[in-house]
Structure 1
Amino acid sequence: MKEIELKMQGKIKRLTNRTFKFDHRVRDGWFSAVYFLKTRDIAKEYKPDNVVTMQFFQKENAVLCGTDEVIALIKEFADDPDNLDIYSLKDGDKIAPFETVLTITGPYQNFGYLEGIIDGILARRTSVATNVYNVVKAAGISGVQKPVIFMGDRDDHFTQQAGDGYAAYIGGSSAQATHAMSEWWGKKGMGTMPHALIQLFDGDIVKASQAYHEMFPEDDLMVLVDYNNDVITDALRVAREFKDKLKAVRVDTSRTMIDQYFVRHPEVLGTFDPRGVNAPLIFALRDTLNSEGYNHVKIVVTGGFNERRIEEFEKQNVPVDIYGVGSSLLKINIGFTGDNVKLNGKDQAKAGRRYRPNARLEKVE
């Protein structure tokens, strides 16, 4: 948890110099709500000398992310950006409901049309970072911090991977499924084998693992063991074959399936849902591996895990070593709002909104 806590204390340096690969059409207003574009044109014609302060906030306890991206956006597409006064919190800061996270002061026509884009960047990145942070926190409540692999590549459009991966990193996940997810923070993706590899070897998990190990001998050998819906039998097969070379097994049983272990041991049924990856199955897998001396083999679980399920596993001390989580981390559940709250240095805002100074904001140069 130490690295995560350092991020939460704002000790991660700003990354405003990195390449975000913005679409050049932002400058043309292609991604801005039309009423912002019309307001920009009116401001140019009728109120060119007015100076406004726009502030941004949200309504949850959250882990802020997206500020570096927003600052880079402003520097790239605002008119005369060097003469805008920008104050911001940092990616990784913990934020409270209604806390001001960003203010921009300058002529409205120079930056106002970016309001909705800024809201959207902050909303997506902060949602992902907060979701990941909560999952990572849940994965450590037993007293041992379990790594969380961010596996969101199949749950959203591929163009979102770099930003989502960075947000996941800010939230505390330093293992990502694709290279793109790791692009903004300078790492590479990690992964082992999909079900497709085992299918190519006609369901023979040992032969598939042998081919993998021969092709990628420098990789830690982590074998997917649920292809035949008999995780304990197949885990033992690969453990006996590879012994110390086997570093982990991954269980990804479908939520509609009941593993063959429960067919062989019906006496344990009746007090829990035996479908998918469940606690009794993982306990049995751990006990069986240990009984044959494979205590070193770690257990990775994936498939439908979220904060609640991980918390349940951890409270039961289920012997999981690593969690892989995907779709639940990509729920956009935090929305940001940008408001103009000052006009020419004086308070001026719509009813119900007001300027909220925040001593934690830092001036952006």
Structure 2
Amino acid sequence: MSAAHENEAFGPSQALDDGTIAARTDAYFNRTREIVTRFGDRQVTYAMFIRRPVISAPRLMTAWLENVARARGIAITHEVMCPEGAWVGAGEPLVYVTGSFAALAPLETLLLQKLGPPCVAAHNAYQMALALPGVRFLAMEARHCAGFEMQEQMAYAASVGSRAAQREGALGFVGGANDATAGFFGDLPGLGTMPHALVGYAGSTLRAAEMFHETYPDSDLVVLVDYFGREITDALEVCRAFPDLAAAGRVAVRLDTHGGRFLEGLDPQSSYAALERNTPGTIRRYRSDTELRHLVGTGVSAAAVWRMREALNEAGFAKVRIIVSSGFSVEKCMVMADAHAPIDVVGTGSFIPDRWSETYATADIVSYDGQPLVKVGREFLLRKARDRAVPSAS
């Protein structure tokens, strides 16, 4: 596949025409273009950076830039200073973009939109995967995104952060929740089995499992068990109904207990006891309120995971896997790791940045017609510009 076709397949193709770009960019950039066109264009270089540590995830942005350059027949070069998946320090330039000032000025807003959020989300995904290196992750960001463009950015970010963690030995993200972003995870189709709505429709957890298995007999059986508040009872009922699948490791129970209640049979005292039985000392150290909630609180706590594992093992279903979801952020993953929670798979969209202000990328021009010049306070960008990567033509 040619580079041009690869970029068309990879990057978002929307907003390539002048009218759409002009409508979506900030007005002062459109005015800058008119002024520069009137008084004489110049060759400029932009430095793009983020004010916090991130994982480099520039490819959506650079693919879009290359598509725009090709559609307009203009010469733009970009220099990626930190390879995709590399750790980048706060304020360190990620990409230098060089070209006509008149051509680049209207693109700045859209370029920054496609750089900051993926880099921060990739960093979060990387941290989560490293916190639980023996656990597989499923990207479930779609329902939390403001449209497909954001979903594409977040799925791409999860794949970049995951590959960075995999290079350090983690299992990382193995797929996403729908087909549209499957290409980021090796072209696997969207993963997942049933929502709570299907359990309600079926009238029981077991009947939902039966319906699913009758429809998809070759698929592993992953069953939501919290709908009726009988996580352990319903999980065991399903396992007993499908003993061969359970013995073959083809049954999994998904815990998604909401934060308004404890897992079946648990309360604060029994939650503490579950951790003491399985991971002595974990609960005895100083803990913040948030850490305590993740360990022994309501919802999908470490104690809840341990109690489910105990119940499955006691009933002879040691090969039945446990899948967890519900608010699995970087912090929650770290707490689960500290509690040695027996998790097989995490379904999460919580790698999406919690503080959106952290995702703001910034661009500054650092040279005009090859002469270094930048606003006061950003001289560090000039120092970085002396050691450039090999440029890539757009």
Find the residue that maps to 1:56 and give its secondary structure.
Answer: strand
What is aligned with 2:158? 168
The 3 A distance-change label for structure 1 pair 267 and 290 is closer
In the other structure, the counterpart of 1:133 is 126
User: For residue 169 of structure 2, what is the aligned residue in structure 1?
Assistant: none
Structure 1's 107 and 334: CA in aligned 2 closer, same or farther, altered over 3 A?
Answer: same
Which letter maps to 2:389? L
Residue identity in the other structure for 1:199: G
Structure 1 equivalent of residue 362 of structure 2: 337
Q: Pick the aligned partner of 1:349 from 345, 351, 374.
A: 374
In 2, distance between residues paired with 1:290 and 1:129? 36
Contact 1:75–1:82 (CA under 8 A) maintained in structure 2 = no
Output the CA distance in 1 between the equivalents of 2:232 and 2:36: 69
- 1:288 is displaced (CA, Å) by 1.5
C-alpha distance in 2 between matches for 1:300 and 1:358: 49
* Per-residue deviation, residues 66-111 of structure 1 (Å, max 9, x unmatched): x222222222324866532321143322212222211122220022
1:262-290, Cα deviation, whole Å (9 max, x unpaired):
27x96556986441112222212111211
Distance 2:180 2:218 in 1: 22
Alpha-carbon contact 1:26-1:32 (below 8 Å) kept: no
1:315 aligns with one of 338, 353, 364 = 338
1:255 matched residue in structure 2: 259
For 1:108 and 1:244, the matched residues in 2 are separated by 67
Residue 51 of structure 1, aligned match among 20, 29, 43: 43
Name the aligned partner's letter for residue 250 of structure 1.
R
Q: Give the counterpart of 1:325 among 348, 353, 377.
A: 348
Question: Are 1:361 and 2:386 counterparts?
Answer: no
**CA distance in structure 2 between the aligned counterparts of 1:324 and 1:80, rounded to whole angstroms:** 41
What's the CA shift for 1:131? 1.5
What is the one-letter code of the residue matched to 2:160?
Answer: I
Residue 188 of structure 2 aligns with an amino acid whose one-letter code is: K
For 1:104, the aligned partner's letter is V
Flag the 1:252–1:42 CA change in 2: closer, same or farther, 3 A: same
CA distance in 1, matches of 2:244, 2:297: 31
**What is the distance in 2 between the residues matched to 1:72 and 1:234?**
48
2:278 match = none
Q: Which residue of 1 aligns with 2:198?
A: 197
Aligned 8 A contact 1:262 1:274 in 2: no
Code of the residue aligned with 2:83 in structure 1: it is K
Paired with 1:317 and 1:24, the residues of 2 have a C-alpha distance of: 47
Q: How many residues align?
A: 344
Kept in 2: contact 1:163–1:181 (CA 8 A): no
Letter paired with 2:361: F
Deviation, structure 1 residue 16: 3.1
Q: 2-side partners of 1:125 and 1:81: how far apart?
A: 28
Q: Give the alignment's TM-score, normalised by structure 1.
A: 0.87
- CA distance in 2 between counterparts of 1:268 and 1:113 reads 56
How many angstroms does 1:134 deviate by?
Answer: 1.3
Cα separation, partners in 2 of 1:85 and 1:267, compared to 1, 3 Å: closer
CA distance in structure 1 between the aligned counterparts of 2:85 and 2:17, rounded to whole angstroms: 26
For the residues of structure 2 that align with 1:330 and 1:72, how far apart are their CA atoms?
23
Report matched runs for 1:190-269 at 5 Å.
190-202=191-203, 204-246=204-246, 247-262=251-266
Partner of 1:151: 140
Q: Superposition RMSD on alpha carbons, in Å?
A: 2.4
Tell me, yes or no, if the aligned pair for 2:121 and 2:351 is still in contact at 8 Å: no
List runs of 5+ in structure 1 lacking aligned partners: 1-13
In structure 1, the partner of 2:67 is 76
2:86 matched residue in structure 1 = 93
Distance 1:69 1:267 in 2: 48
Q: 1:195 touches 1:227 (CA, 8 Å); kept in 2?
A: yes
Q: Aligned with 1:261: secondary structure?
A: coil
In 1, distance between residues paired with 2:135 and 2:319?
16
Shift of 1:313: 1.1
The amino acid across from 2:34 in the alignment is D
Query: 3-state DSSP class of the match of 1:324?
Result: strand
Counterpart AA for 1:291 = E
> Identical aligned pairs, as a percentage?
26
Q: 1:113 aligns with which of 99, 106, 110?
A: 106
> CA offsets per residue over residues 289-338 of structure 1, 9 Å max, x none?
11222111110111112111111111111111111112452433232111
State yes or no: 1:31 paired with 2:32: no
Shift in alpha-carbon separation, 1:309–1:342, aligned structure 2, 3 A: same
